Structure 1
């Protein structure tokens, strides 16, 4: 085989392994983080809905709070009509139950759009990898009749 072709094949393989596969791993990691964020918001929304449906937002409730290392203390919440919602960058906003659900719905839609974007990027990166591997196969002289 021609040494120039062998060098090009090696460059393409290096690009696939060092750049494209690394990009793919980073995109998948970002996708997993966004999926976990959505799961947290949906869990919070379900909890808020349960509070509202059972009247716990006005009557209060007792709970146990993990203070670390699986040590729990008992807590009494007398009025759960407002909650503190993490809005990012370490800032919390006190919102009514209904406003919190509205903010959660907006955040979930935003996260869904970001997930859609990451999925497109993953598909594009996978297509680039496949295209380069097909090019390498062609340079090596293999017939691509499957």
Structure 2
């Protein structure tokens, strides 16, 4: 095989391994983080809905709080009608439960759109990898029906 072709094949393989597969791993990591965020918001939404349906928001409730290293203490929340939500950059704002549900629904929609965009980016990167592999096969003269 021609040394120039071997060099091109090596460059393509290096690009796949060093750039595209690394990009794919980063995108997958971001996707997992966004999915975890959505799950957390859905769980919070469920808790708020349960509070509203059982009137716990007015009567309060008892719970156990993890103070670190799986050590729990019992806590009593006398008024659960308001909640603090992280709005970003470590800032928390107090909302009523109804207001919190509106904010949570907006955040879930935003995260779902980001997930769609990440999935498209992952598909695009996978397509680039496949395209380069086809080009490598063409250069090697071993192209089969794909």
Q: What is the distance in 2 between the residues matched to 1:132 and 1:51?
A: 54
**How many pairs are equivalent?**
146
| Corresponding residue number in structure 2 for 1:28 | 28
Give the equivalent residue in structure 1 for 2:103.
103
Separation in 1 of the partners of 2:87 and 2:102? 13
Q: TM-score, normalised by structure 2?
A: 0.98
Structure 2 residue 82 is matched with structure 1 residue 82 = yes
**Deviation at residue 69 of structure 1 after TM alignment:** 1.1
Alignment of 1:1-146 (within 5 A): 1-145=1-145
Q: Which runs of 5+ in 1 are unaligned?
A: none
Question: Partners of 2:86 and 2:16 in 1: how far apart?
Answer: 39
Q: 1:58-92: per-residue Cα shift (whole Å, max 9, x none)?
A: 11111111111111111111110001111111110
Deviations 1:21-68 (A, max 9, x none): 000000000000000000000000001111111110111111111111
TM-score by length of 1: 0.98
Please report the RMSD computed on the Cα atoms of aligned residues, expressed in angstroms: 0.8
Unaligned runs of at least 5 residues, structure 2: none
- Write the distance in 1 (CA, Å) between the matches of 2:63 and 2:76: 6
SS in structure 1 opposite 2:120?
A: helix
Deviating above 3 A after TM superposition, structure 1's stretches of 4 or more consecutive aligned residues are none
